[in-house]
Chains A and B, each alone.
Chain A
Amino acid sequence: MRREAIAWERAAEVDAAARGWRRVGAIEEATYRRIRETFPDPCVTPGAVWRVLTGGVVAAIVLCTLAAMALSVWGSSTEIQVLLLLWGAACLVATEVLEASPRSARRGAAGATSVLGVGLFLVGLGLVLVETVRLRDDDAIDVLLVAAVLTCGLAAWRWGSPLFTGLAGGALFCSLARLPHGRLLWLLAGTALAGAAAWGLDDGRLAPSHRVGAAVLTVIGIGAVYAAANVYSLDEGVLEHLARLAPGREDLPRGARLAAAAATALLPLAVLAWGLGSRRTFLLDTGIVLLALSLVTLRHYVQVAPLWVVLTLSGALLVILALVVERALRRARDGELAGFTAEPLFSDERRQRALQIVPVVAAFTPEAHAPSHEPGFAGEGGRFGGGGAQEKF
């Protein structure tokens, strides 16, 4: 990352913290202004709506222009490949230019051009490998995965985007799965990655976005270890399906299944313990998700009760667990227990509550009924309409 971009990010971190303090009234407006003067953030930083809107429109412009050019030169695959690679390169150059200016770095346009640039480059490269170099499909996939690791890794390093960090990590494990002993490689590389990335979580020398990237890599490493160690994944050969040559069942070492069963049970607990010990909420969240996956695995092998009992009991247990934890924290001295609290501290509670409407409405709204299947409705009691609207237009 550019030195100036790192400085802008550091100032933005301080500004975000100060806004949180101001939001809950922990500091006065005058104090907030002095903090901003002490740590000035020169970047124009629009809200999320503006950033998404800008990114979406920029993506539409780039893709429409590309599609128009592609349709004009249609006829030769080589021309399309050149066009994709050129367009990808142009997007990457545009990202560099946008990221260099505090007026444009955080508007959403740079994010859109970077994603399109890397994406178009990889699609173009894929076409070159398959249609021009005429590699076999398996070889092309291998080369493309390595290219994805490198390009996404470079993009993450240069622009500090956690999205690219995640994509690079995902591509890395996909390419490892294609090698012989892919499962073993996932275990080793996952452990190494999680361990190495965890060192960077608090490293003040790293840019803030690189520290977020380190958290993403930690989660990916843990996820890879869990996917490789999970007993269901072992039985079904989930990772082996990604390999070029799937090994037979006899390739499994003795005791591997037992070890996998133990790992399925213990790994989530270990991650939860790590999260509790280090007081890192993203590790707690990862541990909770892995624990849920382990319980689903257990249910797959041990039919302890009918599905409805399992669902109802686990739902009730979760609610009770959440209530107990919340009550314990609320009743503890100063509302905290072992460094944890149920208070929102400096986070934007109002915004979080507003955002939760979306998943609730998405999950729990009843299915819409078809009005045409409702005999007798239209003629009785008048038709539905407000503000002059009628059912029939």
Chain B
Amino acid sequence: MNSDVVAAISRLRADGVLSAGQADLFDRVARRGLVSIRFEIRALLYAGVLLLTSGVGVLVAQHHQEIGPLAIATGITLAAAVCLLWVMRRAAPFSWGEVSSPTVAFDYVLLLGLLLFASALAYVEVQFTVLGPRWAYHLLIVGVVYLLAAYRWDSRTALGLALATLAAWRGLSISLVPAATLGPGVATDLRASAIALGALYVGAAALSARLGRKAHFEEVFANAGLLLGLGGLLSGVLADHRAWDLWLVALLLVAGGVMAVAFRLGRSLYFAAGLVAAYIALVRVLFEPFRYGRHADSIPLLLAALLGSAVLAVIFWAHRRMRDR
């Protein structure tokens, strides 16, 4: 029981702020007379999908010779088809606006269907080498299917998977899966891919919002794009020892632009991404003149702390004035 809310409801009812009907419902929820277990149902569905796909993965890895590739490919494809057919039957008609899921399970059955489809495709590619040396294109196909599914069934989760899979096709990882992450030592072509893909995603975010076509996808597009784009530029500042100063100028321009746009739109997460990227890049500048010398270590650290204080002032200033507080 949330005793503070219960006491408040009682007072608000007595003062006539809440009607009897409103107060009864709110009081019941505050006293745990009515409890939502929606989160628990979602968690069970997520864990179920995770276990199911893991089970399929283990089956394929351990028993593909005994069962036979054709049987496995057919089995997984059929399972994917069943899930996607269920989704098609339950789905609301297509709309460019936001469509609420018909049931809690809808998103997860869709997720399971898409993951099984991707597993089937990967398995077919491994067994039958359909694409041959261009095998990596299967990631492009999977990413495009995820993207189409995201638009058709209005799934931000599928969109997130699509963007991450398309990034994986270009050799980039924006998930926790260990791969070519954007850090020091990243190859130049990966950096260029990251920046290009980041720009593409941010462009898609802007178009979504401007044209009103799945405008609620904007945040997914933009966050993935900023992560890739700013990460790519930052890796240039940190890892490219010959042209780091050029990367720095580019990063500061882009980060400044991102912060200005975020400020105007009232998007705190975009603002934070720009600010953090700029701060890390500027810290690198602070360390550059002090690489050798008596106070090589302590002075840049003090300067980094001073810079941090300036960043803090920017945060307080922006928070006071931005719409999304």
Contact across chains for A312 and B52 when beta carbons are under 8 A apart: yes
User: B41 is contacted by which of A31, A322, A359, A371 (Cβ under 8 Å)?
Assistant: A322
Contact across chains for A367 and B177 when beta carbons are under 8 A apart: yes
Question: B residues within 8 A CB of A56?
Answer: 276
Report B284-314 CB contacts with A as 1/0, cut-off 8 Å. Answer: 0000000000000111011011001101100
Whether A158 sits at the interface, judged by CB under 8 Å, is no
Report A276-300 CB contacts with B as 1/0, cut-off 8 Å. Answer: 0011110011001000100000000
Contact across chains for A341 and B156 when beta carbons are under 8 A apart: no
Contact across chains for A368 and B167 when beta carbons are under 8 A apart: yes
**Residue from A68, A322, A366 having most chain B Cβ neighbours under 10 A:** A366
Contact across chains for A50 and B319 when beta carbons are under 8 A apart: yes
A311 and B56 CA atoms in complex are apart in Å by: 8
Q: Which of B184-207 contact A (CB under 8 A)?
A: 187-193, 195-197, 199-200, 203
Shortest Cβ gap from A290 to chain B (Å): 14
Shortest Cβ gap from A108 to chain B (Å): 9
Contact across chains for B301 and A371 when beta carbons are under 8 A apart: no
Contact across chains for A357 and B269 when beta carbons are under 8 A apart: no
Question: A residues within 8 A CB of B272?
Answer: 49-50, 52-53
A369 and B312 CA atoms in complex are apart in Å by: 39
User: B189 is contacted by which of A341, A343, A392 (Cβ under 8 Å)?
Assistant: A392
Contact across chains for B133 and A375 when beta carbons are under 8 A apart: yes
Report B24-56 CB contacts with A as 1/0, cut-off 8 Å. Answer: 011001101111111111111111111111111
Report A28-54 CB contacts with B as 1/0, cut-off 8 Å. Answer: 000100110011000000110110111
**Known contacts A64-B302, A312-B59, A360-B46, A389 near B134 by CB under 8 Å:** no
Shortest Cβ gap from A94 to chain B (Å): 13
Contact across chains for B11 and A374 when beta carbons are under 8 A apart: no
**Known contacts A368-B168, A368-B179, A319 near B49 by CB under 8 Å:** yes
Chain A's closest residue to B107 (CB) is A353
Question: B residues within 8 A CB of A358?
Answer: 160
Whether A266 sits at the interface, judged by CB under 8 Å, is no
**Known contacts A204-B7, A359-B46, A387 near B203 by CB under 8 Å:** yes
Contact across chains for B104 and A326 when beta carbons are under 8 A apart: yes
Whether A364 sits at the interface, judged by CB under 8 Å, is yes
User: B54 is contacted by which of A71, A281, A315 (Cβ under 8 Å)?
Assistant: A315
User: B45 is contacted by which of A61, A203, A319 (Cβ under 8 Å)?
Assistant: A319
Shortest Cβ gap from B254 to chain A (Å): 12
Shortest Cβ gap from A343 to chain B (Å): 6
Shortest Cβ gap from A260 to chain B (Å): 26
Report A290-327 CB contacts with B as 1/0, cut-off 8 Å. Answer: 00100000000000001111111111111101110110
Whether B281 sits at the interface, judged by CB under 8 Å, is no
Contact across chains for B164 and A365 when beta carbons are under 8 A apart: yes
Report A1-39 CB contacts with B as 1/0, cut-off 8 Å. Answer: 000000000100110010001000011000100110011
Q: Which of A118-126, A131-139, A344-352 participates in binding chain B?
A: A344-352
Number of B residues, CB within 8 Å of A:
118
Contact across chains for A46 and B319 when beta carbons are under 8 A apart: yes
Chain A's closest residue to B40 (CB) is A284
Contact across chains for A315 and B48 when beta carbons are under 8 A apart: yes
Number of A residues, CB within 8 Å of B:
109
Question: A residues within 8 A CB of B299?
Answer: 68
User: A365 is contacted by which of B56, B175, B297 (Cβ under 8 Å)?
Assistant: B175
Question: A residues within 8 A CB of B196?
Answer: 384-387, 389-390
Whether B222 sits at the interface, judged by CB under 8 Å, is no
**Known contacts A35-B12, A369-B136, A393-B192, A361 near B161 by CB under 8 Å:** yes
Whether A235 sits at the interface, judged by CB under 8 Å, is no
Shortest Cβ gap from B266 to chain A (Å): 11
Question: B residues within 8 A CB of A308?
Answer: 55-56, 58-59, 62-63
A204 and B35 CA atoms in complex are apart in Å by: 20
**Known contacts A53-B272, A72-B298, A371-B171, A17 near B32 by CB under 8 Å:** no
Whether B115 sits at the interface, judged by CB under 8 Å, is yes
Whether B245 sits at the interface, judged by CB under 8 Å, is no
A346 and B30 CA atoms in complex are apart in Å by: 11
A204 and B104 CA atoms in complex are apart in Å by: 34
Shortest Cβ gap from A377 to chain B (Å): 7
Question: A residues within 8 A CB of B197?
Answer: 386
Question: A residues within 8 A CB of B165?
Answer: 365-366
Shortest Cβ gap from A24 to chain B (Å): 11
Question: B residues within 8 A CB of A292?
Answer: 47
Question: B residues within 8 A CB of A387?
Answer: 196, 199-200, 203
A292 and B40 CA atoms in complex are apart in Å by: 14
**Known contacts A64-B301, A342-B41, A326 near B175 by CB under 8 Å:** no
**Known contacts A342-B37, A347-B38, A68 near B25 by CB under 8 Å:** no
Contact across chains for B161 and A369 when beta carbons are under 8 A apart: no
Chain A's closest residue to B11 (CB) is A38
**Residue from A60, A284, A359, A374 having most chain B Cβ neighbours under 10 A:** A60
Whether A372 sits at the interface, judged by CB under 8 Å, is yes
**Known contacts A361-B161, A371-B189, A312 near B275 by CB under 8 Å:** no
Question: A residues within 8 A CB of B312?
Answer: 54, 57-58, 61
Contact across chains for B177 and A318 when beta carbons are under 8 A apart: no
Shortest Cβ gap from B134 to chain A (Å): 7
A17 and B236 CA atoms in complex are apart in Å by: 46
| 13 residue pairs A–B, Cβ–Cβ below 8 Å | A35-B8, A57-B315, A64-B308, A281-B37, A311-B54, A318-B44, A322-B44, A347-B39, A360-B161, A372-B187, A372-B189, A391-B189, A393-B189
Pairs of residues from A and B, 9 with the lowest C-beta to C-beta distance, nearest first: A315-B51, A312-B55, A204-B3, A311-B55, A315-B52, A318-B48, A389-B196, A319-B48, A368-B179
Additional A-B contacts beyond A310-B55, A368-B170 (12; CB < 8 A): A27-B22, A50-B268, A58-B312, A311-B52, A321-B44, A343-B38, A353-B107, A361-B161, A364-B161, A365-B177, A369-B139, A393-B189
